[in-house]
Amino acid sequence: MNTTETKSIQTTQAQGNSSFIARASNIVNNYVVALLPLYAALLLEASIRFFSVQLGTSDSTASSPLRLLFILIQLSIESLPFFLWHKYLLRGANQNRVLPKRLVLWLLCFGGYPLVCLILVNNWEWYSTYTLFSVQGWLLMVAASVGILFNARQSVSALNKTTSLVSRLLSLNGAIVVSMFVWALIISGVFMNELDPMRNQPLPWLFDLGKILKDPLRYLSYFLQFSVVGFCALAIYFFNRNVLIRHLLSEKGIFIFVSGVLVTTIVLTPLLGASILAMPLNIPEQTLLPSEDHNLFAPINYQIVFWILVITTPVILAFERQHQSRVMAQITSERARSELQLLQQQINPHFLFNTLNNLYALTLNRSENAPKMVLGLAELLRYTVYEGQNALVLLSKEINYLQNYLALQALRFGEGFTLKANFCEEGERWKLPPLLLIVIVENAFKHGVEVTNGNSQIALDVTVEGNRLIVKCINSVGADSPSRADSDGVGMANLQRRLQLLQPNTATFNSGKTESGEWLSELTLELTPC
């Protein structure tokens, strides 16, 4: 085995390993990370169920880890339709094409399935004693599903007016506000389980929608009071982010920031505590303060405010850094897009220059093929101007463009070269960036047919394997041709740069002399399904 074959095997193995890692990473991102809100909702519902069982019985087995595992497994089975629907949602790259169908399926899954469960509970006693599915669990799953849909930009990109609102909701500030709002909703529902909740602690962590509907005004009263408590926590967070971090830490340094944290803790604790003590839920024996008494200056109240500042600081800093990274990535992407457009525009005059030379040679010889070449050139330029400006074109159109170019060159050279061309028949199924393949064919004529004395040959093979396009072009070269002639010129340099910008990790391009003295150029790139 020679050195070239060894390098080829190593390259193939490396590409195989890279492809496996890419597929594994894609699976993790699509089916684990993207569905994380559903897993969180499932675990939260299982935990609430587990703790409720503990509070409702003195049986020691109720606190067994096996009991928690059993609840988790049963809830997973009953929630399987939600996960299956989202797996279907996240499958495939282009989600907008079938968005209405997916929304109908969402309504059937998150509306029809719970309705069926409710009918079974009311009509089949054995099912009502078996099932753990509840309105509370359904609401958690709906909230998680809506969050996933909003987070999937491709699913809501068509809703321009909604996108701005969604972006705000998915920001750190929006997430904190929504979390406090949801917490107030849930804790208010928990307090509905007792007529005098402050004197009957601890309360079972159950969210009974029936009790809320029977006494909505009491639930609203609880919600407003807990909203005030949540607002106090939000005030600490926003002051930390907008004043302590963005001004003191970023502009004055760590020492001034720590001093600001201490001052904030000492000043805000009694002020916020006073607003919490004004709530009607407070009774002489117990209050909503962390200290659970009427002492505004209890040490634990200061500790809670201090720990809110300590815990939110690294979270805020992480999100600030993520925002800066996103902005820098967007700037880099815009620069790459501008460079790509420049490179694509450079291809047009390069191709036009070569083709006009061909036409000039025919007119000098007063060839009757000159009018045909003019028409062929017009077709090629029409494709270059209109289709060449698109990000993606049909593979069939790119192949047709190559065939027109080869026909044009056949008019020029006549019987001066032999062409063997094989094109795939799946062009309507795939898309690719335009004007990539023509560079290889142009190069074969420039460094093959034009400089070869006597009859020359070009063998072009365009095939599709899976979702990858494989292009192989073999052409004769002159005896005096340099070994790396193909790497010179605007066209090949643009091709390599475009591949780096378009598909830096998946596209490959190799060229060089074969053992028989011919020149082999091979291009592989990923195709986009239609």
Is the per-residue pLDDT at 305 higher than 80?
yes
In the chain, the percentage of residues whose pLDDT exceeds 90 is: 22
Q: pLDDT value at position 116?
A: 85
pLDDT digits (tens, 9 = 90+) for 390-440: 888 899 999 998 998 888 888 777 777 788 999 988 888 899 988 888 888
Grade residue 321 by pLDDT with cuts at 50, 70 and 90: confident
Identify the residue with better confidence: 171 or 281. Answer: 281
Is the per-residue pLDDT at 332 higher than 70?
no
Q: pLDDT value at position 338?
A: 59
Identify the residue with better confidence: 495 or 231. Answer: 231
Q: What does the pLDDT average to over 448-469? A: 85
As to burial, measured by CB atoms within 10 angstroms (0-12 exposed, 13-18 middle, 19+ buried), residue 127 is middle
In the chain, the percentage of residues whose pLDDT exceeds 70 is: 75
Q: What does the pLDDT average to over 178-189? A: 88
Grade residue 132 by pLDDT with cuts at 50, 70 and 90: confident
Among 77-81, 162-166, 239-243, 259-263, where is mean pLDDT lowest? 162-166
**Under 8 Å between Cβ of 439 and 523:** no
Q: pLDDT value at position 92?
A: 45
Is the per-residue pLDDT at 490 higher than 80?
no
Alpha helices, H only, 90-245: 99-107, 113-123, 125-130, 135-151, 153-156, 160-170, 172-191, 209-214, 216-239
Task: Kindly report the average pLDDT of the chain as a whole number.
Answer: 78
pLDDT digits (tens, 9 = 90+) for 266-275: 999 999 999 9
Is the per-residue pLDDT at 529 higher than 70?
yes
As to burial, measured by CB atoms within 10 angstroms (0-12 exposed, 13-18 middle, 19+ buried), residue 17 is exposed
Q: What does the pLDDT average to over 190-208? A: 84
Q: pLDDT value at position 464?
A: 92
Grade residue 151 by pLDDT with cuts at 50, 70 and 90: low
Is the per-residue pLDDT at 30 higher than 90?
no
Is the per-residue pLDDT at 342 higher than 70?
no
Q: pLDDT value at position 228?
A: 94
Query: Which strand (E) or helix (H) includes residue 401?
Result: helix 395-413
3-state SS, residue 132:
coil
Please give the C-alpha separations between residue 524 and each of 21, 341, 493, in angstroms, as whole numbers. 19, 21, 17
**Under 8 Å between Cβ of 106 and 90:** no
Grade residue 131 by pLDDT with cuts at 50, 70 and 90: confident
Q: What does the pLDDT average to over 212-233? A: 92
Q: pLDDT value at position 231?
A: 94
Give the global pTM: 0.48
Grade residue 487 by pLDDT with cuts at 50, 70 and 90: very low
Q: pLDDT value at position 485?
A: 45
The β-bridge partners of 470 are 463, 524
**Under 8 Å between Cβ of 46 and 70:** no
Q: pLDDT value at position 241?
A: 92
Identify the residue with better confidence: 356 or 421. Answer: 421
Grade residue 308 by pLDDT with cuts at 50, 70 and 90: very high
> How many CB atoms lie under 10 A from the CB of residue 406?
15
Identify the residue with better confidence: 94 or 152. Answer: 152
Identify the residue with better confidence: 90 or 33. Answer: 33
Grade residue 345 by pLDDT with cuts at 50, 70 and 90: low
The alpha carbons of the chain give a radius of gyration, in whole angstroms, of: 34
Q: pLDDT value at position 445?
A: 83
Instruction: Give the separation between CA 80 and CA 73, rounded to whole angstroms.
Output: 11
The β-bridge partners of 368 are none
Is the per-residue pLDDT at 236 higher than 90?
yes
3-state SS, residue 474:
strand
Is the per-residue pLDDT at 95 higher than 70?
no
Is the per-residue pLDDT at 11 higher than 70?
no
pLDDT digits (tens, 9 = 90+) for 41-54: 888 888 877 777 66
Identify the residue with better confidence: 188 or 365. Answer: 188
Q: pLDDT value at position 156?
A: 39
pLDDT digits (tens, 9 = 90+) for 242-274: 999 988 988 888 999 999 999 999 999 999 999
